[in-house]
Amino acid sequence: MTQDVPATDPAVYDAYQAQWAALPDSPQAWLARAREVAAVLGQDAAQRDQENKSPRAEVVLLKHSGLLKLLGPKRYGGGEQPWSVGYQAIREVAKGDGSIGMLLGYHLLWSTTANVVGTPEQAERIQEWILTNNYFVGGAVNPRDSDLRITSEGDHIVFNGAKFFNTGGVVSDVTVLEGVLAGTDEHIFALVETRQPGIQFAHNWHNIGLRLTESGGVKIDNVRAPWTDALGWDASSQTPREEVLKIPFAGLLLPTIQLVFSNFYLGIAQGALDFASKYTVSSTRAWPFGGDNKASATDEFYILERYGNFFAHLRAAEALADRAGDHLTALYRDHSANRPALTPQHRGEVAEWIASVKVVTTDVGLRVTAGVFEVTGARATSLKVGLDRFWRDIRTHTLHDPVAYKNRELGRYALLGEVPEVTWYT
């Protein structure tokens, strides 16, 4: 059970509950709050990464900050900000701690799942439930695994099966489940309370990076949900609503979460550059045997050149990420109230902006997080410095979702004008 897993005492962040009692009231204020959270996390990020504890305290910090409510409607206590602000907040938190930036990003996606694949009534009810309780939402949704099996028992659906990976589930209040209804090829999403006997976590996340994300396995054993909570389904006929689930709008979960990925990659890389810069200024020594000796490392040509190059590429990646975020935000703004109006072509064109960000942030993120060692020096490889966590975090997640397939997808778009097929998982 969750309480048996080592974790930092959440009380270490008690002071922030009062400090952040009032929610931010503008996009700028929300991003300032995200930077404050990153500063708190950054103080001991390397130590917490090495301890590999369950992030119960860090999720409590997110709750105190209000960031879990950033996208929700104001009538239920949310910030009612667009995804473009949400993506920038993810990026800011990831600068301080990539794991917690990832958890925030996944929460924002899963907590708004009903807005995409649910009926308006379901979306309203679930938003009220999550926001008024300040719940953190995890997800046992991984298309690489076999689908959970769903059976119908009267007015309930019952989930069974297992997932090798879930994200944040151990420390969540609510978990998103997804599976296939027996005898059909129809998928069903539902949100259930996490703390129940039928959700059994393996506690086996011991990877090299993103160590505070609780992304290990989970067994789902006879977990029940009412048919009324089957997102986008008609509870009386127990059939999918075509006007909700058989339209391109229902396929927005994929590009939305792909841009979540890209923004925490970008934030991690920006955090690495900032961390390395401070280290170079304070600790890196000039090379004394080059024949063009400098008094300080900050006068070394190769160090200045590398930092300048990294900075330029990260600035370009940020501009691309913001542009894609604006496109997706506009799509949600223009079509949330009229979902059938979204065409496959329009959805696909926005998806290709997001695929472009994925390619660029993966390439630049890996290059920067590995390259900063060249400009910090051998002593920066010490575990107590903790510079390695940035590369390990990006390397770990980018392997779960090979960027080569995004390059191929973009190639077909560039050469043939093809947009990807509308699905929730590819």
Domain coordinates of the chain in residue numbers? 2-136, 138-241, 248-416
Task: Give the pairing of strands 199-201 and 187-193.
Answer: unpaired
* Whole-number Å distance between alpha carbons of 77 and 124: 13
The mean per-residue pLDDT over the stretch 321-331 comes to 98
| Cβ atoms of residues 26 and 80 within 8 Å | no
**Domain spanning 138-241: CATH superfamily:** Butyryl-CoA Dehydrogenase, subunit A, domain 2 (2.40.110.10)
Question: What average pLDDT is seen over the chain?
Answer: 95
Would strands 218-226 and 239-240 be described as parallel, antiparallel, or unpaired?
unpaired
> Is residue 83 very low, low, confident or very high in pLDDT (cuts 50, 70, 90)?
very high
Please name the CATH architecture into which domain 2-136 falls: Orthogonal Bundle (1.10)
Q: Is the pLDDT of residue 81 over 70?
A: yes
Res. 206 pLDDT band, cuts 50 70 90? very high
Model pLDDT for residues 96-113, shown as the tens digit of each residue: 999 999 999 999 999 999
Question: Tell me, what's the pLDDT at 1?
Answer: 40
The tens digit of pLDDT for each residue in 353-379 reads 999 999 999 999 999 999 999 999 999
- pLDDT per residue as tens digits for the range 288-304: 888 888 999 999 999 99
What pLDDT was estimated at residue 71? 98
pLDDT value for 248: 96
Answer yes or no: are the C-beta atoms of 97 and 38 closer than 8 Å.
yes
Position 426 scores a pLDDT of: 42
Domain 248-416 in the same topology as domain 2-136: no
What pTM did the predictor assign?
0.97
The pLDDT of residue 424 is 60
Q: Which band of pLDDT confidence, cut at 50, 70 and 90, is reported for residue 2?
A: very low
Task: Report how far residue 381's alpha carbon sits from residue 379's, in angstroms, rounded to the nearest whole number.
Answer: 5
User: Residue 146 pLDDT more than 80?
Assistant: no
Say whether pLDDT at 425 is over 70. Answer: no
**All residues at 6 or more sequence positions from 372 whose CB lies less than 8 Å from its CB, including other chains:** 272, 273, 275, 276, 310, 380, 387, 390
Instruction: Please provide the CATH number assigned to the domain covering 248-416.
Output: 1.20.140.10
For residue 287, what is the DSSP state?
P
